[in-house]
Amino acid sequence: MPMKQPINDISSILQSMASEMQSMRKDLDGQHQEICRLTRGTQAQAKEIHSLKRKVKERDNTIDDLQNRLSKYEEPPKNSNNSSTPPSKEKLKDEVVRRTKSLRKKSDKPVGGQKGHQGTTRTMVDNPDETVEESADYCTGCGHDLSDSPKELDYISQVVSIPPLRAVVKEIRHYVRRCSRCGNQSRPYAPRRRGGNSVTYDQSVQALVVYMNVVQCIPYQRLQSILEAVFGIEMSQGTIANILQSAKAKAGPAIEMIKESISRSRVVGFDESGCYCDKRLDWSWIAQTNLRTLVFRANNRSGKVLEDMFGDTLKNITAVTDRHSAYFSLDFADHQICLSHILREVQYLTELDGDQQWSVELQNLLGEAIHTRNESPTEVIDKAPWLSRLDRLLQQSVEHLKDEFRRLKNGLIKCRDYVFKFLENPAVPSHNNGSERGIRKLKIKQKVSGTFRSDEGADAFMALHSITDTAWKNKQSPLDAILAILNGETGDYVFAE
C-alpha cells in the first residue's frame, strides 16, 4: 500500500479557497441585487395592472351608464298617447303628433260630416232688442235722391253686440220710521252694517268672480285687471279671496248633497293627482258619477282617504279606477280597471318592439271588447270567452322581451278579474275618463298659477269646482249654479235627479 504524500502547500490552498469564497460572495450579492430589482419591477407592474383593472372597471361602468342614458333616446319617447305622461309634461313635437294621431283605428268613412248629418247654424231671434232700417239715400245708377221713393224689404240680417260693460253702482238709503202710536223705531228688513266698508258687491259680481277664478282658472292678479278694464271695478286680491271663501261656506250644504248622492251610487269613478299647496305636495281626490263630481284634498294617496270620506258605503260601490294599489286595498263591491290606461301602455310596447305580436294581440283583444260593448250598450255580455283569450295571452312567456312587457303582464295577472267587468254590467264604463276630465281642471289651475298659496284657497277651489262640474254634467249653466249657491238656492236647480 502506497504511503500518503505530505501536504506542504496548505497556505496556498487556503488562499485559493478564500479567493473562491470571496468571488462567490460577490456573485451572491449581485444576484441578490438583481432579485431585489426584479421584485421591485414586479411590484410596480402589479400596481400598474391593478390600476389598469380599476380604470377598465370604471370605463365599463361608464359605458353601462352611458348605454342606460342613451337607451331612453333609442327607445320610443313616452307621451300622453302611449303612457300616463300628462300632456303638460310632453314635448312640443309629441304634442303635435298627439293632436294628429289617435289610438282609434282608421275608418273607411270620408273625413268631415257624414251623409245624412244635419248641420246647425246661427238662427235669428224672433224678438230683437233693437231694429234698424237701412236703405240707399241716392241711386247707385244716376245719383238721384231716393228719400221720397217707396221702400221694399229685400232681406233681414241680425247683428249680435255687447253693450258697454260698466258696473252699476246702486246707492241704498236706509230710513227708520217712528211709530206714532208706540214710538218704536222700525228699520227695513235689510241687515244693518256695523263698521267695515259701506260699499259691497252683490251676488252678480261675486258670482262672476267665482266663475272666472274657478271655471276659467283666472288667477287673482289677472282677475283684478279684467274687472278693472272691462267693468271699471277696482277690487283687491284680498276681497277676491274673501268672496271665494264666502262662496265655499255657502256651498257646504250642496257639497254634502253631492257626497250623499255619490255614496248611494252603484258605480263611481275615482282618481287622484298631485296638488302643490303652500310649498307642499298634497293630493287632490275625485269621486264622480255621470251626474255628480266631488273633488277634495288630502295629505296622502292611501286608501284610508276614501274610507274616511265614504265609510261603509264603499261596500256597495263598483269602483272604476286605474291600477293604483290603494284602490285594491279597499272593500269595494266590485272593480273595473281603466282600459284606456292599458291601451296606452300597450301602444308603447308595440312601438318599443315592433317584431313581437304579444302587445298587438292584447291591443286587438281589448279593442274588440270595447267595440262589442259600444255595439250593444244595454246588453249583458258573457265575459268568459274574453277572459279565456286574455288567459292565453297571459300564459305566454315574455321573458325574451324587455322588462316593460313583463311588468305589464304581471300587473294584468294581479287584476285579471277586473278587466272585463264592463261587459257583464252595462252601467260600468270600460274607462275612467270621466274622473280624469273632472280632475284635469286642477292641473290646468296649477299650470296657470303654479301652486295654491293656502289650504283654505285650495279647499275653496275644489269645493266650488265640484259645484260647477256637477252643474255642467246636469246640462246647467255653471254661472247660474254659482248664483244659486250665493243666493242660498242649493236644492232643485243644481241637484235635480
Indicate the average pLDDT of the chain. 86
Task: Please say if the pLDDT value at position 168 is more than 80.
Answer: yes
**Residue 142, pLDDT score:** 87
Task: Please say if the pLDDT value at position 98 is more than 70.
Answer: no
440 phi/psi in degrees, rounded to 5: -65, -30
Q: If DSSP codes are grouped into helix, strand and coil, which group holds residue 376?
A: coil
First to last CA, the chain: 147
| Amino acid identity, position 84 | S
Report the pLDDT averaged over residues 130-150.
Answer: 87
**Residue 392, pLDDT score:** 95
pLDDT class of 118 with cuts at 50, 70, 90: confident
**Residue 112, pLDDT score:** 73
- 32-53 pLDDT, tens digit per residue, is 888 888 888 888 888 888 888 8
pLDDT class of 25 with cuts at 50, 70, 90: confident
**Residue 51, pLDDT score:** 85
**Residue 105, pLDDT score:** 66
Task: Please say if the pLDDT value at position 213 is more than 70.
Answer: yes
- 368-415 pLDDT, tens digit per residue, is 999 999 999 999 999 999 999 999 999 999 999 988 999 999 999 999
pLDDT class of 13 with cuts at 50, 70, 90: confident
469's grid cell: 262640474
Task: Please say if the pLDDT value at position 106 is more than 90.
Answer: no
Q: pTM for this structure?
A: 0.75
Provide Rg for the chain, Cα atoms. 42
Task: Please say if the pLDDT value at position 100 is more than 70.
Answer: no
Of 161-175, 188-202, 399-413, give the range with the top mean pLDDT.
Answer: 399-413
% of the chain at pLDDT higher than 70: 87
Show the beta-strand stretches assigned E in 227-316.
267-276, 281-288, 293-298
Per mean pLDDT, which range of 4-8, 269-273, 410-414 is the poorest?
4-8
**Residue 493, pLDDT score:** 52
Asked whether the CA dihedral 78, 81, 84, 86 is positive or negative, the reply is positive
**Residue 383, pLDDT score:** 93
Which tops the pLDDT comparison, 116 or 271? 271
**Residue 96, pLDDT score:** 55
Q: Alpha-carbon distance 222 to 89, whole Å?
A: 24
Task: Please say if the pLDDT value at position 162 is more than 90.
Answer: no
Report the pLDDT averaged over residues 210-231.
Answer: 94
**Residue 110, pLDDT score:** 78
* Contact between residue 359 and residue 401 where contact means Cβ atoms under 8 Å apart: no
Per mean pLDDT, which range of 81-85, 106-110, 153-157, 298-302 is the poorest?
81-85
- 51-74 pLDDT, tens digit per residue, is 888 888 888 778 777 766 666 666
Q: Alpha-carbon distance 321 to 57, whole Å?
A: 47
Phi-psi region of 177 (alpha: psi -120 to 50; beta: other; left: phi over 0): beta
